[in-house]
């Protein structure tokens, strides 16, 4: 996906058309990192050898990684990156030159940290309830839609840059930016559906794990303690029926 986005037609037209650049950003920030995180690369590294696993465990248990890979940090980075890219000089600077390649890699890294922390299919510094991840996703969908509205109804982005291209084909600057805003907003929400499905499956697995743990504790308590009827645990019913 990264190669297709970088070297294919998308990579060729991204510096020329706003909507193609928006499509490139969505694929690099959402799709490629999601596929990478789903492949469980950290678990694959740990399976290489015992020394590698020890290094990975040591790195993940460090205070720096516990903060950098927390849900709050990765979600904030995921939300802030598109805003900073489109509403600062970074947008024009990332079109061509060395910063363009750095930006493409950075988008994948930000997205991977986000999905890696939230999906928790790999070893992570700290695990948390999937309900927290689902709640964060609901808030994030609102923020993504807000950026789309700003780009759709707001002033044109990088007017001087696109005017200097002297492009006499394709949509106008306003139409081009409106299409790009729709891609960031609508396509971003559509691509979040597989992520939400994965979170719901994880929530179901977590609930079943908790139920099994509770059943095991109950069985252990029953085996260690005297056998009683259910109503004997209620003081009112015990006094009434024990007469």
pLDDT score recorded for residue 85: 93
User: Low-confidence residues of the chain, pLDDT below 70?
Assistant: 142-144, 205-207, 210, 214-219, 221-243
144-172: buried (b, 16+ CB within 10 Å) or exposed (e) per residue?
Answer: beebbebbbeeeebbeeebeeeeeeeeee
Q: Considering only CA atoms, which of 16, 141, 126 is closest in space to residue 71?
A: 126
Residue 109's pLDDT is 94
- Tens-digit pLDDT profile for residues 104-159: 999 999 999 988 888 888 888 887 777 777 777 777 776 667 888 888 888 999 99
Q: What is the structure's pLDDT at 233? A: 61
CA distance 55 to 78: 27
Q: How remote is the C-alpha of 17 from its chain's centroid? A: 26
> In terms of Cα–Cα distance, which of 110, 103, 123 is closest to 5?
103
Contact of 36 with 110, CB cutoff 8 Å: no
Cβ-based neighbours of 114, under 8 Å, separated by 6 or more: 33, 74, 75, 77, 78
Domain layout of the chain by residue ranges: 2-241
| pTM for the predicted model, two decimal places | 0.76
Q: What is the pLDDT of residue 138?
A: 72
Measured distance CA(3)–CA(9) in Å, rounded: 11
């Amino acid at each position: 996906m990264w190669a297709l986005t970088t070297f294919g037609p998308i990579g060729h037209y991204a510096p020329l058309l706003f909507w193609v650049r928006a499509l490139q950003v969505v694929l690099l920030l959402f799709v490629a990192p999601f596929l990478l995180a789903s492949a469980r690369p950290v678990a694959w590294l740990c399976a290489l050898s015992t020394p590698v696993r020890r290094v990975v465990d040591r790195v993940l248990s460090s205070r720096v990684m516990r903060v950098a890979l927390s849900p709050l940090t990765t979600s904030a980075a995921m939300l802030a990156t598109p805003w900073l890219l489109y509403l600062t000089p970074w947008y024009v600077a990332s079109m061509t030159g060395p910063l363009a390649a750095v930006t493409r890699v950075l988008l994948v890294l930000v997205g991977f940290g986000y999905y890696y922390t939230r999906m928790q299919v790999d070893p992570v510094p700290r695990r948390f309830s999937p309900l927290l991840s689902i709640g964060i996703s609901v808030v994030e969908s609102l923020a993504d839609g807000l950026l789309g509205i700003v780009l759709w109804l707001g002033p044109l982005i990088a007017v001087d840059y696109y005017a200097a291209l002297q492009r006499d084909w394709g949509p106008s600057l306003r139409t081009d930016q409106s299409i790009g805003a729709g891609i960031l907003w609508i396509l971003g929400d559509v691509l979040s559906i597989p992520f939400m499905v994965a979170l719901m499956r994880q929530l179901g697995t977590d609930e079943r794990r908790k139920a099994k743990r509770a059943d095991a504790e109950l069985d252990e308590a029953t085996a260690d303690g005297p056998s009683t009827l259910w109503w004997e645990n209620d003081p009112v019913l015990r006094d009434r029926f024990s007469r």
